[in-house]
């Protein structure tokens, strides 16, 4: 076959402070930078879904027609300009024809300035050109908010099964196998889908621990009897009606598809209370980390989850830094603080200089403000590094002008480009050896575990002020389906509105 392939990935936190521009996708911001044409094929050895699909297709002897691959760090809405330019490049190539099937590497939680369902709209534009008979398979992130439109328009959707996402390329391979099944079957596969009636906190989705670990083990067991089975816990910060967890599957007959999806759904709702998460305050996390690290062989790691740039934070809140300073932490490191002004000031001053700064604090979130003080410049770099951890192993990254600033017993890695800390080399490029620290504060929620868990003496999750509410019930929802519970065992949006006297919205479609 000749297969058209393209990728367009963005996880949209509609409550976040900063939008994703076209420049964000050119840069990548922790993803590979934008690639066009044959350069897309160079992703074959990168742990992204399109890389796994390319390897599968080449092994099968298929010809590929690569269009574009673009991804940007989670943030507020994708600008209309960025969406139309990238989606337009894909649709323009589809219009030319000359291929037998389509594979798209999408995220599944994209909201734009003008569209609630970015992926559903892209699929609709493609289908209007190629018709219903063209095989079209899509890979999705584990945090996809799968919409009815996406499910109806694709022949098959398949999602990651790990968080941290170490199986991205493997998911692309599974998409290729699904495409082969669809073509061998000669007609659309039987399908089933169930929408879950409660939101799950991002920190509760980690597949290294329960209950997510057991859920995905059951999924893999059930899939032995059908073609494909997926569970996307969703991205609980996209304010539109179809935000939330979804289960779906494909089989050669309808009864088998329904049985597998219903069994997984029953397990999930029966375990609802186990999906909730307890969080520490910044002071509690600092005290526990200091106490736990005294005689430990490795660092205690604090996830500063509400400022995670991987879910829409700007990676510059100072709540955890202040807590460490209040409690006299020593041999502590914080990363990565996105503050180009501070990084450039450090470079102008030079190593060993002492400079006065108002660092970070640009989130406009209540309870956060810049940290004013005198900092020692300990290390300077150009911010270029290689990912050696499991997630993007072998890919090169860039943080821009980068510095290590020290204040009392706390080292702070400061960059000019925003990026989530999911690889130890993000500290090393700032001159900080993470294994030698007593305490590490990571601007991340779960992804850091893939590379940091092997060295960690303990892991704590802190709820310091930040743009991404770790508890979805804390968000000011306006467009979510009013029947959704805002957290496991929590109130529905409708009940919350009734209690506060806020008028509800029109319900759209079934919750389950």
- pLDDT tens sequence across 108-133: 999 999 999 999 999 999 999 999 99
Q: Do 301 and 257 belong together in one domain?
A: no
Q: Do 344 and 262 belong together in one domain?
A: no
> Using H for helix, E for strand and C for coil, what is the string for 53-107?
HHHHHHHHCCEEEEEEEEECCCECCECHHHHHHHHHHHHHHHHHCCCCEEEEEEC
State residue 466's pLDDT score: 92
Domain boundary among 163, 187, 211: 187
Signed CA dihedral, 86, 313, 160, 234: sign only: negative
Is 471 within the bounds of a domain? Answer: no
> Using H for helix, E for strand and C for coil, what is the string for 1-63?
CEEEEEEEECEECCCCCCCECHHHHHHCECECCCEEHHHHHHHHHCCCHHHHHHHHHHHHCCE
Is 205 within the bounds of a domain? Answer: yes
Structure confidence by residue, pLDDT tens digits, 144-162: 999 999 999 999 999 999 9
State residue 511's pLDDT score: 41
Q: Do 424 and 314 belong together in one domain?
A: yes
State residue 501's pLDDT score: 61
Given a cut of 80, whether residue 500 has pLDDT beyond it is no
Structure confidence by residue, pLDDT tens digits, 395-450: 899 999 999 999 999 999 999 999 999 999 999 999 999 999 999 999 999 999 99
Domain boundary among 187, 220, 238: 187
CATH number at 217 reads 3.30.310.50
Q: Do 32 and 134 belong together in one domain?
A: yes
State residue 97's pLDDT score: 98
Is 261 within the bounds of a domain? Answer: yes
How would residue 394 be classed by pLDDT, with cut points 50, 70 and 90?
Answer: confident
Q: How many domains does the chain have?
A: 3
Average pLDDT rounded to a whole number, residues 314-334: 97
Q: Which residue has the higher pLDDT, 469 or 343?
A: 343
Given a cut of 50, whether residue 509 has pLDDT beyond it is no
Here the tokens at position 212 are: 């997510």
CATH number at 148 reads 3.40.50.2300
Given a cut of 70, whether residue 512 has pLDDT beyond it is no
Average pLDDT rounded to a whole number, residues 232-254: 97
Given a cut of 80, whether residue 255 has pLDDT beyond it is yes
Q: Do 356 and 294 belong together in one domain?
A: yes
Average pLDDT rounded to a whole number, residues 377-401: 95
Is 475 within the bounds of a domain? Answer: no
Q: Do 229 and 301 belong together in one domain?
A: no
Domain boundary among 187, 216, 234: 187
Q: Do 291 and 329 belong together in one domain?
A: yes
Please report how the helices 319-326 and 282-293 are oriented relative to each other, as an axis angle in degrees rounded to 10.
50
| pTM score, whole prediction | 0.91
How would residue 508 be classed by pLDDT, with cut points 50, 70 and 90?
Answer: very low
Q: Do 37 and 69 belong together in one domain?
A: yes
Print the domain residue range for 115.
1-187
Q: Do 272 and 258 belong together in one domain?
A: yes
Q: Do 398 and 490 belong together in one domain?
A: no
Is 469 within the bounds of a domain? Answer: no
Omega prior to 211 cis, within 30 of 0? yes
Is 217 within the bounds of a domain? Answer: yes
Residues 6+ apart with CB under 8 A from 320: 282, 285, 286, 302, 304, 334, 441, 462, 464
Q: Do 253 and 137 belong together in one domain?
A: no
Structure confidence by residue, pLDDT tens digits, 342-365: 999 999 999 999 999 999 998 788
Q: Do 197 and 128 belong together in one domain?
A: no
Is 470 within the bounds of a domain? Answer: no
Given a cut of 80, whether residue 11 has pLDDT beyond it is yes
Is 468 within the bounds of a domain? Answer: no
């Amino acid at each position: 076959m000749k297969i058209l392939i393209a990728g367009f990935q963005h996880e949209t936190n509609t409550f976040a402070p900063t939008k994703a521009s076209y420049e964000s996708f050119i840069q990548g911001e922790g993803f590979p930078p934008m690639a066009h044409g044959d350069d897309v094929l160079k992703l074959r050895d990168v742990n992204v879904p399109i890389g796994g699909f390319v390897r599968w297709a080449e092994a099968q002897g298929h010809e590929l027609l690569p269009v574009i691959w673009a991804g940007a760090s989670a943030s507020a809405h994708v600008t209309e300009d960025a969406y139309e330019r990238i989606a337009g490049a894909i649709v323009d190539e589809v219009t030319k024809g000359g291929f037998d099937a389509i594979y798209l590497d999408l995220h599944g939680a994209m909201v734009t300035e003008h569209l609630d369902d970015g992926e559903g709209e892209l699929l609709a534009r493609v289908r209007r050109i190629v018709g219903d008979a063209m095989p079209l398979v899509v890979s999705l992130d584990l945090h996809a908010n799968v919409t009815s439109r996406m499910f109806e328009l694709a022949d098959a959707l398949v999602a990651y099964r790990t968080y941290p996402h170490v199986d991205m390329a493997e998911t692309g391979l599974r998409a290729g196998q699904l495409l082969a099944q669809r073509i061998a079957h000669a007609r659309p596969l039987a399908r089933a889908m169930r929408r879950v009636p409660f939101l799950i906190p991002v920190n509760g989705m980690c597949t290294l621990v329960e209950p997510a670990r057991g859920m995905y083990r059951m999924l893999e067991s059930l899939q032995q009897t059908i073609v494909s089975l997926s569970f996307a816990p969703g991205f609980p910060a996209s304010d539109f009606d179809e935000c939330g967890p979804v289960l779906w599957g494909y089989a050669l007959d309808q009864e088998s598809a329904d049985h597998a999806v219903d069994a997984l759904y029953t397990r999930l709702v029966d375990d609802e209370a186990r999906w909730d998460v307890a969080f520490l305050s910044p002071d509690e996390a600092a005290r526990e980390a200091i106490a736990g690290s005294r005689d430990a062989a490795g660092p205690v790691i604090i996830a500063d989850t509400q400022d995670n740039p991987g879910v829409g934070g700007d990676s510059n809140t100072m709540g955890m830094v202040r807590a460490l300073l209040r409690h006299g932490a020593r041999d502590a490191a914080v990363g990565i603080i996105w503050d180009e002004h501070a990084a450039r000031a450090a470079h102008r001053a030079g190593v060993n200089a002492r400079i006065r700064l108002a660092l970070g604090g640009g989130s406009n979130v209540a309870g956060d403000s810049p940290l004013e003080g005198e900092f020692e410049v300990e290390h300077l770099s150009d911010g270029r590094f290689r990912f050696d951890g499991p997630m993007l192993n072998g890919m090169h990254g860039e943080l821009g002008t980068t510095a290590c600033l020290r204040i009392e017993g706390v080292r702070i890695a400061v960059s000019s480009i925003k990026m989530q800390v999911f690889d130890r080399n993000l500290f090393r490029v700032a001159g900080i050896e993470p294994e030698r620290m007593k305490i590490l504060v990571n601007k991340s929620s779960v992804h850091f575990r893939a590379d940091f868990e092997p060295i960690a003496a303990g892991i704590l999750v802190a709820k310091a002020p930040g743009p991404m509410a770790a508890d979805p019930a804390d968000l000011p929802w306006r467009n979510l389906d009013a029947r959704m519970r805002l957290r496991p065992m929590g109130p529905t949006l409708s009940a919350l509105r009734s209690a506060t006297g806020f008028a509800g919205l029109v319900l759209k479609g079934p919750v389950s």
